[in-house]
């Protein structure tokens, strides 16, 4: 599709309430996400912007300190910065509360230790973050936001998150199927147990309270899994519904972002998640001649002084912007030590 004037972007996305902004690191995702959200809010359309990047860039761009709770930036703009550590802590605190309600109190120190270690297990943060994102997605759509903009972490990670609801749904299905098999076995065991009752009343007295607790526990576990499955299914459906969700890929006009954007589109299309638009950021306007560059260079030199003041304990090395991408070992080594 041809190049479009930028104001068309806000018109194109106006009917899709969910907007995901993806792209390679540093290309301008946060800037684009915050710009879209700010624009819609300025048009008095209730907008929520959600950042999944722990680097606090969204807060920096909006010039407000954000947290896991919604912050009202303007009457029409709310922002939230999902902090993986806080989310994981809250998630495991919930798990601990659930276990505590049925576990033997003597076991709790061991269980707590196990949960503490599980927090740093690979994928724990990602899973907790995904669940939290899906919750925000579903509740924001059910709530009365006209736009929900997700400012995501760099592409690879984002793509995994977008595909994960399906995977998590399948995974939860597996757990539930396993649970159903075990439940069948238990009902057979219970029948055998009641058969034994006629022969051994004392044994049954001991066995029954445990059976009761176990079935409670299973019911609890199943209900948690069912709820989670429902959440992922709903989020997955929203993500795949093009009338609801638009994925916008941001890139710069450079070779590496181009290659990554191509790969991202292939991956997204494989998962039936076609991007809605591509934003090419940081383009140099052909009308911006000497004066523009002089002002930009001056501004950078001012910032360089500030950088030197801030990092007095470290050596600082400047790399100047080149006319083209720097690729291949010769050009790369030449960047540091030019061959004279
Ligand atoms: N069009 C632009 N003109 C000038 N500066 C820009 C422009 N777009 C982005 N920047 C600046 O470039 C830097 C990176 O932008 P931004 O934080 O939006 O990228 P990002 O893709 O969100 O990065 P990350 O991958 O780290 O999340 C920021 O300092 C931002 O202010
Ligand atoms: Mg960012």
Q: What residue's CA is closest to ligand 1, atom 26?
A: 26
pLDDT score recorded for residue 168: 63
Phi/psi of residue 90, nearest 5 degrees: -65, -40
Given a cut of 90, is residue 1 above it in pLDDT? no
291-304: pLDDT as tens digits: 888 888 888 888 88
Q: Is 38 in the pocket of ligand 1 (CB under 6 A)?
A: no
Query: Is 73 in a helix, a strand, or coil?
Result: strand
Given a cut of 60, is residue 158 above it in pLDDT? no
Given a cut of 70, is residue 151 above it in pLDDT? yes
pLDDT score recorded for residue 241: 92
How many Å from the N-terminal Cα to the C-terminal Cα in the chain?
45
24-46: pLDDT as tens digits: 889 989 999 999 999 999 999 99
Lowest mean pLDDT of 141-155, 193-207, 223-237, name the range: 193-207
Average pLDDT value over all residues in the chain: 81
Given a cut of 70, is residue 193 above it in pLDDT? no
Distance of CA 328 to the CA centre of its chain: 33
pTM of the full predicted structure? 0.78
Q: What residue's CA is closest to ligand 1, atom 4?
A: 282
Q: What is the mean pLDDT of residues 266-284?
A: 86
What is the rounded CA–CA span in Å between residue 263 and residue 271?
13
232-270: pLDDT as tens digits: 888 888 888 999 999 999 988 888 888 888 888 888 888
Q: Is 35 in the pocket of ligand 1 (CB under 6 A)?
A: no
Cα of 95 from ligand 1 centre, angstroms = 38
Q: Is 208 exposed, middle or buried (0-12, 13-18, 19+ CB in 10 A)?
A: middle
Q: What is the mean pLDDT of residues 279-283?
A: 87
Given a cut of 80, is residue 18 above it in pLDDT? yes
Cβ atoms of residues 18 and 137 within 8 Å: yes
130-146: pLDDT as tens digits: 888 888 888 888 888 99
What is the rounded CA–CA span in Å between residue 61 and residue 181?
52
What is the rounded CA–CA span in Å between residue 40 and residue 85?
30
Ligand at shortest distance from the CA of 26 = 1
Q: Is 30 in the pocket of ligand 1 (CB under 6 A)?
A: yes
To test ligand 1's pocket by mutation, which of 30, 81, 300 has the most ligand atoms within 8 angstroms of CB? Answer: 30
Cα of 9 from ligand 1 centre, angstroms = 18
To test ligand 1's pocket by mutation, which of 9, 24, 26, 154 has the most ligand atoms within 8 angstroms of CB? Answer: 26
- pLDDT band at residue 80 under the 50/70/90 scheme: very high
Percentage with pLDDT > 70 across the chain = 81
Given a cut of 90, is residue 272 above it in pLDDT? no
pLDDT score recorded for residue 204: 44
Q: Is 24 in the pocket of ligand 1 (CB under 6 A)?
A: no
Number of the ligand 1 atom closest to the C-alpha atom of 24: 25
Classify residue 314 by its DSSP letter: S
Domain 7-167+238-281 annotated CATH 3.40.50.300: yes
The tokens for 198 are 């006629």
Ligand at shortest distance from the CA of 279 = 1
Q: Is 26 in the pocket of ligand 1 (CB under 6 A)?
A: yes
pLDDT score recorded for residue 17: 94
């Amino acid at each position: 599709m041809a190049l479009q004037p930028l104001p068309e972007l806000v018109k194109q996305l106006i009917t899709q309430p969910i907007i995901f902004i993806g792209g390679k690191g540093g290309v301008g995702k946060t800037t684009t996400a915050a710009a879209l959200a700010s624009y819609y809010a300025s048009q008095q359309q209730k907008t929520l912007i959600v950042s999944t990047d722990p680097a606090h860039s969204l807060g920096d761009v909006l010039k407000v300190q954000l947290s896991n709770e919604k912050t009202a930036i303007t009457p029409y703009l709310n922002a939230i910065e999902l902090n993986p550590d806080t989310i994981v802590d809250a998630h495991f605190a919930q798990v601990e509360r659930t276990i505590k309600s049925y576990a033997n109190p003597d076991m709790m120190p061991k269980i707590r230790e196990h949960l503490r270690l599980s927090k740093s297990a690979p994928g724990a943060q990602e899973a907790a973050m995904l669940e939290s994102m899906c919750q925000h997605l579903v509740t924001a759509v059910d709530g009365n936001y006209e736009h929900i903009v997700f400012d995501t972490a760099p592409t690879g990670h984002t793509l995994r998150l977008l595909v994960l609801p399906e995977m998590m749904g399948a995974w939860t299905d597996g757990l539930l199927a396993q649970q159903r098999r075990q439940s069948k076995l238990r009902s057979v065991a219970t029948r055998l147990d009641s058969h034994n009752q006629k022969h051994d009343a004392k044994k049954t007295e001991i066995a029954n309270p445990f059976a009761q607790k176990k079935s409670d526990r299973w019911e609890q576990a199943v209900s948690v899994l069912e709820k989670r499955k429902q959440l992922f299914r709903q989020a997955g459906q929203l993500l795949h519904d093009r009338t609801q969700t638009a994925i916008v890929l941001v890139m710069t006009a450079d070779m590496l972002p181009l290659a990554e954007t191509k790969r991202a589109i292939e991956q997204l299309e494989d998962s039936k998640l076609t991007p809605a638009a591509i934003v090419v950021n940081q383009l140099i306007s052909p009308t911006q001649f000497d004066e523009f560059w002089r002002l930009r260079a001056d501004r950078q030199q001012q910032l360089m002084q500030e950088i030197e003041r801030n990092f007095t304990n470290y050596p600082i090395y400047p790399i100047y912007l080149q006319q083209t991408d720097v690729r291949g070992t010769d050009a790369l080594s030449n960047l540091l030590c030019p061959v004279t």
